[in-house]
Structure 1
Protein backbone atom coordinates (compact mmCIF):
# COMPACT_ATOMS: atom_id res chain seq x y z
CA UNK A 1 0.00 0.00 0.00
CA UNK A 2 2.86 2.35 0.77
CA UNK A 3 4.22 1.80 -2.73
CA UNK A 4 1.02 2.99 -4.43
CA UNK A 5 0.83 6.12 -2.28
CA UNK A 6 4.44 6.87 -3.23
CA UNK A 7 3.60 6.48 -6.94
CA UNK A 8 0.54 8.70 -6.48
CA UNK A 9 2.65 11.37 -4.75
CA UNK A 10 5.22 11.27 -7.55
CA UNK A 11 2.43 11.48 -10.12
CA UNK A 12 1.01 14.66 -8.57
CA UNK A 13 4.48 16.16 -8.29
CA UNK A 14 5.06 15.47 -11.99
CA UNK A 15 1.66 16.90 -12.96
CA UNK A 16 2.48 20.07 -11.03
CA UNK A 17 5.88 20.29 -12.69
CA UNK A 18 4.51 19.91 -16.22
CA UNK A 19 1.60 22.28 -15.54
CA UNK A 20 4.09 24.94 -14.44
CA UNK A 21 5.94 24.46 -17.73
CA UNK A 22 2.80 24.64 -19.85
CA UNK A 23 1.05 27.29 -17.76
CA UNK A 24 1.56 30.07 -20.36
CA UNK A 25 -0.26 27.92 -22.92
CA UNK A 26 -2.98 26.84 -20.48
CA UNK A 27 -3.61 30.36 -19.21
CA UNK A 28 -3.85 31.71 -22.76
CA UNK A 29 -6.35 29.01 -23.69
CA UNK A 30 -8.43 29.73 -20.58
CA UNK A 31 -8.38 33.46 -21.36
CA UNK A 32 -9.57 32.66 -24.90
CA UNK A 33 -12.48 30.64 -23.51
CA UNK A 34 -13.56 33.42 -21.15
CA UNK A 35 -13.05 36.21 -23.71
CA UNK A 36 -14.88 34.44 -26.52
CA UNK A 37 -17.67 33.52 -24.10
CA UNK A 38 -18.04 37.17 -23.15
CA UNK A 39 -17.99 38.27 -26.79
CA UNK A 40 -20.63 35.68 -27.67
CA UNK A 41 -22.78 36.76 -24.72
CA UNK A 42 -22.58 40.38 -25.88
CA UNK A 43 -23.38 39.55 -29.51
CA UNK A 44 -26.24 37.20 -28.58
CA UNK A 45 -27.63 39.45 -25.83
CA UNK A 46 -27.01 36.92 -23.06
CA UNK A 47 -25.95 37.56 -19.49
CA UNK A 48 -22.12 37.69 -19.28
CA UNK A 49 -22.06 34.79 -16.82
CA UNK A 50 -24.08 32.72 -19.31
CA UNK A 51 -21.48 33.58 -21.95
CA UNK A 52 -18.60 32.39 -19.77
CA UNK A 53 -20.60 29.26 -18.94
CA UNK A 54 -21.24 28.68 -22.65
CA UNK A 55 -17.54 29.20 -23.36
CA UNK A 56 -16.46 26.49 -20.92
CA UNK A 57 -19.25 24.06 -21.86
CA UNK A 58 -18.33 24.46 -25.53
CA UNK A 59 -14.57 24.61 -24.95
CA UNK A 60 -14.62 21.43 -22.91
CA UNK A 61 -16.73 19.86 -25.69
CA UNK A 62 -19.60 19.07 -23.33
CA UNK A 63 -22.29 20.98 -25.25
CA UNK A 64 -25.48 20.74 -23.21
CA UNK A 65 -27.41 22.66 -25.85
CA UNK A 66 -29.26 24.97 -23.48
CA UNK A 67 -27.50 28.03 -24.93
CA UNK A 68 -27.26 28.03 -28.71
CA UNK A 69 -25.66 30.85 -30.70
CA UNK A 70 -27.86 32.06 -33.55
CA UNK A 71 -25.70 34.70 -35.23
CA UNK A 72 -22.89 33.87 -37.70
CA UNK A 73 -20.14 35.58 -35.65
CA UNK A 74 -21.18 33.70 -32.51
CA UNK A 75 -21.20 30.41 -34.38
CA UNK A 76 -17.72 30.99 -35.78
CA UNK A 77 -16.42 31.85 -32.30
CA UNK A 78 -18.10 28.71 -30.93
CA UNK A 79 -16.23 26.61 -33.50
CA UNK A 80 -12.94 28.23 -32.45
CA UNK A 81 -13.86 27.51 -28.83
CA UNK A 82 -14.38 23.84 -29.70
CA UNK A 83 -10.96 23.55 -31.32
CA UNK A 84 -9.38 25.40 -28.40
CA UNK A 85 -11.02 22.95 -26.00
CA UNK A 86 -9.81 19.92 -27.94
CA UNK A 87 -6.25 21.28 -27.77
CA UNK A 88 -6.61 22.05 -24.06
CA UNK A 89 -7.84 18.52 -23.38
CA UNK A 90 -5.06 17.00 -25.48
CA UNK A 91 -2.37 18.96 -23.64
CA UNK A 92 -3.76 17.91 -20.27
CA UNK A 93 -3.95 14.26 -21.40
CA UNK A 94 -0.34 14.43 -22.59
CA UNK A 95 0.74 15.90 -19.25
CA UNK A 96 -1.10 13.13 -17.40
CA UNK A 97 0.52 10.38 -19.48
CA UNK A 98 3.96 11.94 -19.04
CA UNK A 99 3.37 12.26 -15.29
CA UNK A 100 2.41 8.57 -15.06
CA UNK A 101 5.57 7.61 -16.94
CA UNK A 102 7.66 9.80 -14.66
CA UNK A 103 6.06 8.45 -11.48
CA UNK A 104 6.58 4.86 -12.54
CA UNK A 105 10.19 5.53 -13.53
CA UNK A 106 11.04 7.41 -10.32
CA UNK A 107 9.48 4.84 -8.03
CA UNK A 108 10.71 1.81 -9.94
CA UNK A 109 7.06 0.75 -10.34
CA UNK A 110 7.73 -0.95 -13.67
CA UNK A 111 9.58 -3.85 -12.02
Structure 2
Protein backbone atom coordinates (compact mmCIF):
# COMPACT_ATOMS: atom_id res chain seq x y z
CA UNK A 1 0.00 0.00 0.00
CA UNK A 2 2.82 2.39 0.84
CA UNK A 3 4.38 1.70 -2.54
CA UNK A 4 1.13 2.78 -4.19
CA UNK A 5 1.13 6.08 -2.32
CA UNK A 6 4.76 6.62 -3.19
CA UNK A 7 3.96 6.05 -6.86
CA UNK A 8 1.08 8.56 -6.68
CA UNK A 9 3.01 11.25 -4.84
CA UNK A 10 4.43 12.94 -7.97
CA UNK A 11 0.93 13.20 -9.43
CA UNK A 12 -0.55 14.53 -6.19
CA UNK A 13 2.25 17.03 -5.64
CA UNK A 14 2.05 18.23 -9.24
CA UNK A 15 -1.69 18.80 -9.00
CA UNK A 16 -1.36 20.63 -5.68
CA UNK A 17 1.46 22.76 -7.09
CA UNK A 18 -0.59 23.62 -10.18
CA UNK A 19 -3.56 24.60 -8.00
CA UNK A 20 -1.35 26.86 -5.86
CA UNK A 21 0.42 28.47 -8.83
CA UNK A 22 -2.84 29.00 -10.67
CA UNK A 23 -4.39 30.43 -7.52
CA UNK A 24 -1.52 32.87 -7.08
CA UNK A 25 -1.93 34.03 -10.68
CA UNK A 26 -5.66 34.55 -10.10
CA UNK A 27 -4.89 36.41 -6.88
CA UNK A 28 -2.42 38.68 -8.64
CA UNK A 29 -4.96 39.49 -11.35
CA UNK A 30 -7.55 40.26 -8.70
CA UNK A 31 -5.25 42.13 -6.32
CA UNK A 32 -5.72 39.64 -3.47
CA UNK A 33 -3.14 38.76 -0.83
CA UNK A 34 -1.24 35.49 -1.24
CA UNK A 35 -3.16 33.90 1.60
CA UNK A 36 -6.51 34.91 0.12
CA UNK A 37 -5.41 33.67 -3.31
CA UNK A 38 -4.39 30.24 -2.01
CA UNK A 39 -7.55 30.05 0.09
CA UNK A 40 -9.66 30.81 -2.99
CA UNK A 41 -7.68 28.29 -5.05
CA UNK A 42 -8.41 25.38 -2.71
CA UNK A 43 -12.00 26.39 -1.97
CA UNK A 44 -12.53 26.53 -5.73
CA UNK A 45 -10.57 23.33 -6.41
CA UNK A 46 -12.65 21.40 -3.89
CA UNK A 47 -15.79 22.88 -5.51
CA UNK A 48 -16.98 24.22 -2.15
CA UNK A 49 -17.16 27.79 -3.43
CA UNK A 50 -18.15 29.87 -0.41
CA UNK A 51 -18.39 32.97 -2.58
CA UNK A 52 -16.46 35.27 -0.27
CA UNK A 53 -13.81 35.64 -2.99
CA UNK A 54 -14.81 35.52 -6.60
CA UNK A 55 -12.93 36.57 -9.68
CA UNK A 56 -14.22 39.51 -11.70
CA UNK A 57 -11.39 39.78 -14.24
CA UNK A 58 -12.06 37.77 -17.43
CA UNK A 59 -8.79 35.83 -17.41
CA UNK A 60 -9.14 35.14 -13.69
CA UNK A 61 -12.55 33.59 -14.35
CA UNK A 62 -11.08 31.28 -16.99
CA UNK A 63 -8.23 30.31 -14.68
CA UNK A 64 -10.75 29.60 -11.91
CA UNK A 65 -12.46 27.10 -14.18
CA UNK A 66 -9.06 25.49 -14.84
CA UNK A 67 -8.49 25.37 -11.09
CA UNK A 68 -11.82 23.66 -10.53
CA UNK A 69 -10.88 21.06 -13.15
CA UNK A 70 -7.49 20.49 -11.46
CA UNK A 71 -9.34 20.00 -8.19
CA UNK A 72 -11.58 17.39 -9.80
CA UNK A 73 -8.49 15.56 -11.02
CA UNK A 74 -6.97 15.72 -7.53
CA UNK A 75 -10.16 14.37 -6.00
CA UNK A 76 -10.29 11.63 -8.60
CA UNK A 77 -6.76 10.50 -7.77
CA UNK A 78 -7.63 10.34 -4.06
CA UNK A 79 -10.82 8.41 -4.71
CA UNK A 80 -9.03 6.05 -7.07
CA UNK A 81 -6.35 5.36 -4.46
CA UNK A 82 -9.03 4.70 -1.87
CA UNK A 83 -10.91 2.29 -4.12
CA UNK A 84 -7.68 0.48 -4.94
CA UNK A 85 -6.86 0.17 -1.23
CA UNK A 86 -10.29 -1.30 -0.49
CA UNK A 87 -9.90 -3.77 -3.36
CA UNK A 88 -6.55 -4.90 -1.97
CA UNK A 89 -8.02 -5.25 1.52
CA UNK A 90 -10.89 -7.37 0.23
CA UNK A 91 -8.53 -9.63 -1.72
CA UNK A 92 -6.31 -10.17 1.32
CA UNK A 93 -9.18 -10.85 3.74
CA UNK A 94 -10.02 -14.57 4.14
TM interval, shorter chain, is: over 0.9
Q: Does 1:48 align with 2:69?
A: no
Q: Which runs of 5+ in 2 are unaligned?
A: none
Aligned residues: 94
Give me the TM-score of the superposition, normalised by structure 2: 0.94
Q: CA deviation at 1:19?
A: 2.0
Give the whole-Å Cα distance in 2 for the aligned partners of 1:48 and 1:80: 19
Give the whole-Å Cα distance in 2 for the aligned partners of 1:44 and 1:102: 46
Q: Stretches of 4+ moved more than 6 A in 1?
A: none
Q: CA deviation at 1:50?
A: 0.3
Give the whole-Å Cα distance in 2 for the aligned partners of 1:18 and 1:85: 21
The counterpart of 1:69, out of the listed 37, 55, 77, is: 55
Give the whole-Å Cα distance in 2 for the aligned partners of 1:20 and 1:56: 23
RMSD: 1.0
Q: CA deviation at 1:56?
A: 0.5
Q: CA deviation at 1:35?
A: 0.5
Q: Per-residue CA shift, 1:45-98, capped at 9, x if unaligned?
A: 011100000000111111111100000111011000011111111111111011
